[in-house]
Structure 1
């Protein structure tokens, strides 16, 4: 079983850990050959959701070389982000920049303004009310000046509409969060995929999916542009479940970090 740790909240190897918040509390997750979840403090309620994506879920229209690569890799586990605010803010942090830069920015932001978890050496992601209280200098001091406006807009929108958003079907939620200034289709799709585990909503035409599909199956003349690739990719799956599994399993071909770009 492989674990994909594409979320920027995961700490660097060798000890891969991250915090995850649900309505029932905060957990520390540790990734190795499997995912281990430890609750911080006392409390009750279910653990965060761990999704499993299997090659057995794939449809019959996938090119044979890609199917072989995914079957050889085997099933993949992924920890779902339970908190919609964190998923949305994390997708904003990931906008435009490389995955390694996003991880560094995420952890700086948590260390500066998140709630420290006793004895863990980690801090939970800052709440929207904390973000709304920050000024321009606070963001600039973390090298996040260009993230200030979208994060503030998202925090304002979540504070006002979060309960309503929580009731929406996932495909409707993707459209709804795009009404927030500076949130486009990529950010909306990445956030909702993260919080639902449904990667049929992920922007699967993006560079990460294209890169690992191409590297794992160089015999296929993959489309170079995002829109054409996305149309091809959709044609390989008959259901959203098949498309979701195909996308996560392909990202995992790039190693545990999944959405990282390969070295040049």
Structure 2
């Protein structure tokens, strides 16, 4: 980032991680596909758009290497720029502590595949966005459908009801969008959900959850397990949805997406060479309670590919009904 562009920002900060750091590997979990309208990866940095309590913000994160290691230049524009900059350390994983996971005694309990993956991926952190609604809505859209369907619907709703990010099309990437506010989500009519391919059960869950939007955002201040439990008191939100949310909002190192269509079979195949179900997956991961999400993340980064078993989940198009 040049000095001129830093000065042009409404707020900025530099953050230096302790140890190895990979920005894209860390923040990749936040992207809703390569065409996420609220994010853009360019040569000049990783761009994000979101709403803060003070209003919308565009955030650019630009990594560079100094003599002492990686430095992240963060610059923000818009009414929410100060709040966006204040959240940068958590977003980049400043509070994510792998020291217990990396102890030799703990490593001695891990499968070789996980140990090797961690050895090759010391630069990854678990990010904490602290933005519950921005994580919750697209996660609800992913309930019981394929990722392709869910992301197609999310993009449609974003293009129709998102708003241009501060600076979009000038200094920020063209087409960068801020997700709808809770009030805007609640104003979306039923036929728009239908056109997006979002069935009435999922759209009703979004509406039900966002009627308590203020209480939802306060969940960011609670421990991850407590926040997940409170999310599950909302009808239509179960353990899978809650886990997917707190993995992103809290950087939770232990939450497991029980009920995922593929995860249990994938973990079982990686750790034992055999498929398993959710109960079997939890049994396999039990020795590493407190770090189960770290183990799963390392399996994902190991390059392991699960053998294909049986039919794939069918992609459905609800828009024609």
TM-score tier, shorter chain, comes to 0.7 to 0.9
Instruction: List gaps (5 residues or longer) in structure 2.
Output: 1-21, 65-69, 313-321
1:39 to 76, 79, 82: 76
Cα-to-partner distance string for 1:128-181 (whole Å, 9 max, x where unaligned): 11111122112112222333111101111324x236534433211111111111
Deviation (angstroms), 1:191: 0.9
1:19 to 40, 49, 66: 49
Q: Relative to 1, partners in 2 of residues 1:126 and 1:163: Cα closer, same or farther, differing over 3 Å?
A: closer
Answer whether contact 2:149 2:197 (CA < 8 A) is retained: no
Computed over aligned residues only, the root mean square deviation of the Cα atoms, in angstroms, reads 3.7
- Report how many residues are paired: 254
**Alignment partner of 1:3: what SS?**
helix
Aligned to 1:63: 111
Q: Relative to 1, partners in 2 of residues 1:222 and 1:66: Cα closer, same or farther, differing over 3 Å?
A: farther
Aligned to 1:184: 238
**Alignment partner of 2:211: what SS?**
helix
**Alignment partner of 2:255: what SS?**
coil
Aligned to 1:170: 224
Q: How does 1:93-104 map to 2 (within 5 A)?
A: 93-104=141-152
Q: Relative to 1, partners in 2 of residues 1:92 and 1:244: Cα closer, same or farther, differing over 3 Å?
A: same
Q: What TM-score results when the alignment is normalised by the length of structure 2?
A: 0.65
Moved over 6 A (4+): 30-36
Aligned to 2:18: none
Aligned to 2:15: none
Q: What TM-score results when the alignment is normalised by the length of structure 1?
A: 0.77
Q: Relative to 1, partners in 2 of residues 1:66 and 1:174: Cα closer, same or farther, differing over 3 Å?
A: same
Higher gyration radius (CA)? 2
Task: Single out whichever of 64-73 and 79-88 deviates more from structure 2.
Answer: 64-73
Distance 1:204 1:97 in 2: 15
Deviation (angstroms), 1:55: 8.9
Cα-to-partner distance string for 1:207-239 (whole Å, 9 max, x where unaligned): 55446546656xx3345111111221121x2x5
Q: Does 1:142 align with 2:182?
A: no
- Using CA pairs below 8 Å that are at least 6 residues apart, which structure has the higher relative contact order? 1
Answer whether contact 2:240 2:259 (CA < 8 A) is retained: no
